[in-house]
Chains A and B, each alone.
Chain A
Amino acid sequence: MSTDIQSPRSGKVSGGKIAPQYRRGAGSKGNFEMFAWLFMRLSGVVLVVLIFGHLFVNLMVGEGIHGIDFGFVAGKWADPFWQFWDLAMLWLAMLHGTNGVRTIINDYAEKDATRLWLKVVLYAATVVIVVLGTLVIFTFNPCPVANGVQLPGGFCPAP
């Protein structure tokens, strides 16, 4: 004789016991909030490594902040390792931060219209920053040219 043990809160177990408004999985939002919660924790762990590494390499080593200029950025992005590092940091930090601010808006903005517009502004800013940052990382040119003239301060191959 075998008995099937249902997982808690599954349809068969909770069918009659949990009031419909508290039942999970049937809402219009699906599992979005659960994935958002999980994403905050997963991205958070990765961001600790990425940002601590970023701060250490840029500010603690060598002459620290005085070493940062166009050449420093050019040197880092000549290496796909740092391009990928910064890309991952950009995307994860922006999504993590956007979801955090979304939570705060939901908590404190009481009117539906206020919540909506604050989130429209938030998401617009997020899209602009993520797209801009991604383009900058991948279209970076160590030897920028304007009107056929090399801009001063660039790193250009010897003619």
Chain B
Amino acid sequence: MPTKPAGTLYRGREGMWSWVGHRITGVVIFFFLLVHVLDTSLVRVSPEAYTAVIGAYKNPLMALGETGLVAAIVFHAFNGLRVIAIDFWKKGAKYQRQLLWTVLVLWLVVFGAFAIRHLSLALGGH
């Protein structure tokens, strides 16, 4: 048995890195989803229990975490649509690089708008 692979199948560039990004953001979102269903379930325990745990989401450090989570969600969403385009659009595979740059521009616009609004609400005036 060889201890090291003789070569690598990973070919770098936009194709591989978008795939790496899609996996990492997917796992992050999945684990948050598990936690988020559990915290929301506290509405069945008592109004006070729910309000207490939601209070934790309102502190400034958590606001940064939420912003990071939304960064992951927006990337995963747009890159997922890119994957669909690659699979179902005749020219998708040919233009996968251009599609990735489109994803990144859209990500910047949508995430930027979210971050400005969410951080000013979460950090300001309360």
Instruction: Enumerate chain A interface residues (CB-CB to B < 8 A).
Output: 41, 44-45, 47-48, 51-52, 55, 59-60, 63-66, 68-70, 73-74, 90, 93-94, 97-98, 100-101, 104, 125, 129, 132-133, 135-136, 139-141, 144, 146, 151-154
Task: Indicate whether A60 sits within 8 Å of B114 (C-beta atoms), given known contacts A41-B84, A44-B84, A133-B37.
Answer: yes
Cβ contact within 8 Å between B27 and A101: yes
CB proximity of A76 to chain B, nearest CB, Å: 11
Cβ contact within 8 Å between A133 and B41: yes
Instruction: Select from chain A the residue with minimum beta-carbon distance to B110.
Output: A52
C-alpha spacing A152/B49, complex, angstroms = 11
Instruction: Select from chain B the residue with minimum beta-carbon distance to A62.
Output: B121
Check B100 for interface membership: any CB of A closer than 8 A.
no
Task: Indicate whether A97 sits within 8 Å of B63 (C-beta atoms), given known contacts A51-B73, A55-B73, A153-B47.
Answer: no
C-alpha spacing A125/B38, complex, angstroms = 11
C-alpha spacing A59/B50, complex, angstroms = 17
Could you say which residues of chain B place their CB within 8 Å of the CB of A94? 33
Main secondary structure on B side of the interface with A: helix
The count of residues in chain B whose C-beta lies closer than 8 Å to any C-beta of chain A is 38
C-alpha spacing A74/B38, complex, angstroms = 17
Out of B33, B43, B46, B118, name the residue touching A140 (CB < 8 Å).
B43
Q: Give me the 5 closest cross-chain CB pairs, A-B, nearest first.
A: A153-B47, A64-B121, A70-B47, A97-B30, A44-B80
C-alpha spacing A112/B118, complex, angstroms = 45
CB proximity of A155 to chain B, nearest CB, Å: 8
C-alpha spacing A136/B51, complex, angstroms = 16
Instruction: Select from chain A the residue with minimum beta-carbon distance to B23.
Output: A104
